[in-house]
């Protein structure tokens, strides 16, 4: 398949629908000790033995810190409308209250280069790289970090204003809170049920505190927040309540306070002894209006009650899986979007801010045949189209990821990129999935002339 096939009546063909690619700072930049940057919790976590596969780290990663200009040129060559990136908090505020102009300059040149090439810029303020100096004071377990995040949002938005087209406060607070502070699988590696829920509340409070700051400083930009969501299905008819609870804890817990001004009752009741202190007015802050919701979708889960009445997920061994072990299930994206639309009623516009597949990809004779990823993206574009036809307002789709990069606790063994990266030489090679994306977007551009 040399291009993705979109139905002739698809809104995805219109020039108003935004196609893009996405990255994040710690995963691609490198240059961890350059340009005034100080350590993040991921720099520390990577140096803790046994935490990251192969002892990998982001010190160099894709060396985007030095190769950014050629990378922007490569992004532009794909024909996308927008580039979604994140800003590294420790590059902007390397010490508490100290603004680093070199950090602002680094991102400004990227933003300017994107705009010069006609691409919009979607900036995430927090994609998990908390400054280590804040973690030393408790990190997201410390309520003060919510206010520090608002101060960081003030610095960035005051400097860039409307030059940033779309602001995102948080990327996947579920991962930051639960993998970072509940299960210990991500930085900072803390394990504790109460800690996970406390971190989640402080993350959402930080989002709410930042929203009016962003609106004040960038009144013409678009502002929102990004959630990862994994729709759950019951293993048998008797397991529907298990599937419902999985959704409640894994993403309603984060979306409900923003769109409904409350946390889901099912989670409050089941986790009653682990609930954080929620002060009067917190939910009013968190539920500040948003212009859009970003949804990151990769796979589904299948849930059941085990013999002890506990909820567990069941791997679907008969299904096709990606290299990371996640089931390929495009229908889940349609179902998820329709469910969200039903649950929240007057839902803000949605962007699919991440969608992609990990592969065991190899560059052979200058080519990377990532046939599974090509099928994966095709299926998920069709799933988005089906959701739109079912009445969901979806305004854009961002492939995860632009290029292979540091995949958190998996290090460099999982390749999510549409572009292959040789980490020894930093050579970039467009995979078949990138070429299919490029050809689809070129065809769409011709149609819309």
Q: Are the C-beta atoms of residues 419 and 429 closer than 8 Å to each other?
A: yes
| pLDDT tops 90 at residue 1 | no
What would the mean pLDDT of 128-133 be, rounded to a whole number? 98
Is the domain covering 11-447 a CATH 1.20.1560.10 domain?
A: no
- What is the Cα 31 distance to its own chain's centre? 22
* Residue 107 known to bind ligand: no
pLDDT recorded at residue 183: 98
Whole-number Å distance between alpha carbons of 188 and 318? 35
Strand 292-296 relative to strand 222-228: parallel, antiparallel, unpaired?
A: parallel
Given the residues 29, 249, 354, 382, the one annotated as active site: 354
Whole-number Å distance between alpha carbons of 215 and 192? 35
Q: Are the C-beta atoms of residues 165 and 82 closer than 8 Å to each other?
A: yes
* pLDDT tens-digit map of 189-210: 999 999 999 999 999 999 999 9
Q: Is 29 labeled as catalytic in the residue annotation?
A: no
Whole-number Å distance between alpha carbons of 358 and 415? 5
| pLDDT tops 90 at residue 364 | yes
Q: Are the C-beta atoms of residues 27 and 64 closer than 8 Å to each other?
A: no
pLDDT recorded at residue 6: 93
Domain residue ranges of the chain, discontinuous segments joined by +? 11-447
If DSSP codes are grouped into helix, strand and coil, which group holds residue 167?
Answer: strand
* Residue 65 known to bind ligand: no
* Residue 115 known to bind ligand: no
* Residue 400 known to bind ligand: yes
* Residue 171 known to bind ligand: yes
Given the residues 172, 195, 327, 382, the one annotated as active site: 172
* pLDDT tens-digit map of 32-58: 999 999 999 999 999 999 999 999 999
CA distances from residue 205 to 201, 211, 284, 288, 370 in whole angstroms, order as listed: 6, 10, 10, 10, 41
pLDDT recorded at residue 132: 98
Cis ω for the linkage preceding 188 (within 30 of 0): yes
H helical segments located in 252-361: 253-259, 265-270, 282-286, 331-344
* Residue 76 known to bind ligand: no
* Residue 265 known to bind ligand: no
Predicted structure pTM score: 0.98
Whole-number Å distance between alpha carbons of 162 and 237? 50
* pLDDT tens-digit map of 396-420: 999 999 999 999 999 999 999 999 9
> What is the share, in percent, of the chain residues with pLDDT greater than 70?
100
pLDDT recorded at residue 346: 86
| pLDDT tops 90 at residue 289 | yes
Whole-number Å distance between alpha carbons of 297 and 229? 6
Burial of 358 by CB count in 10 Å (0-12 exposed, 13-18 middle, 19+ buried)?
Answer: buried
Q: Is 73 labeled as catalytic in the residue annotation?
A: no
Strand 232-234 relative to strand 394-400: parallel, antiparallel, unpaired?
A: unpaired
The pair phi, psi for residue 33, each rounded to 5°, is -110, 15
Full DSSP string of 244-265: HHHHIIIIIHHHHHHHTSS--H
Whole-number Å distance between alpha carbons of 83 and 171? 15
């Amino acid at each position: 398949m040399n291009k993705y096939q979109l139905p002739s009546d698809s809104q995805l063909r219109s020039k108003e629908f935004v196609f893009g690619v996405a990255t994040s700072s710690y995963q691609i930049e490198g240059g961890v000790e350059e340009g005034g940057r100080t350590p993040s919790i991921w720099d520390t976590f990577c140096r803790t033995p046994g935490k990251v596969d192969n002892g990998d780290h982001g010190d160099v990663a894709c060396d985007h810190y030095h190769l950014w200009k050629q990378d922007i040129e490569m992004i532009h060559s794909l024909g996308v409308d927008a580039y979604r990136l994140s800003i590294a908090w420790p590059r902007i505020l390397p010490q508490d209250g100290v603004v680093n102009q070199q950090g602002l300059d680094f991102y400004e040149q990227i933003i300017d280069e994107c705009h010069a090439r006609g691409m919009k810029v979607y900036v995430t303020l927090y994609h998990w790289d908390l400054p280590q100096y804040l973690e030393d004071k408790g990190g997201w377990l410390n309520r003060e970090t919510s206010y520090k995040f608002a101060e960081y949002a003030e610095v960035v938005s005051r400097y860039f204003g409307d030059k940033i087209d779309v602001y995102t406060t948080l990327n996947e607070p579920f991962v930051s809170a639960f993998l970072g502070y509940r299960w210990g699988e991500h930085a900072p590696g803390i394990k504790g049920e109460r800690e996970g829920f406390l971190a989640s509340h402080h993350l959402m409070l930080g989002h709410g505190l930042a929203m009016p700051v962003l609106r004040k400083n960038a009144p013409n930009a678009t502002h929102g927040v990004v959630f990862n969501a994994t729709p759950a299905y019951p293993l048998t008819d008797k397991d529907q309540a298990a599937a419902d609870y999985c959704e409640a804890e894994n993403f309603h817990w984060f979306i409900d306070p923003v769109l409904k001004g409350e946390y889901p009752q099912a989670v409050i009741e089941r986790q009653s002894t682990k609930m954080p202190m929620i002060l009067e007015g917190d939910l009013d802050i968190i539920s500040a209006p948003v212009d859009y919701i970003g949804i990151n979708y990769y796979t589904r889960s299948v849930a059941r009650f085990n013999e002890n009445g506990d909820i567990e997920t069941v791997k679907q061994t008969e299904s096709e899986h990606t290299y990371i072990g996640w089931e390929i299930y495009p229908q889940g994206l349609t179902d998820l979007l329709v469910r969200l639309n039903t649950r929240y009623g007057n839902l803000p516009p949605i962007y699919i801010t991440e969608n992609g597949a990990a592969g065991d990809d190899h560059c052979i004779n200058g080519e990377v045949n990532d046939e599974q990823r090509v099928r994966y993206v095709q299926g998920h574009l069709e799933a988005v189209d089906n959701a739109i036809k079912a009445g969901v307002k979806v305004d854009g789709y961002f492939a995860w990821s632009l290029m292979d990069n540091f995949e958190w606790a998996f290090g460099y063994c999982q390749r999510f990129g549409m572009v292959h990266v040789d980490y020894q030489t930093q050579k970039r090679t467009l995979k078949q999935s990138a070429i299919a994306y490029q050809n689809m977007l070129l065809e769409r551009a011709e149609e819309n002339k």
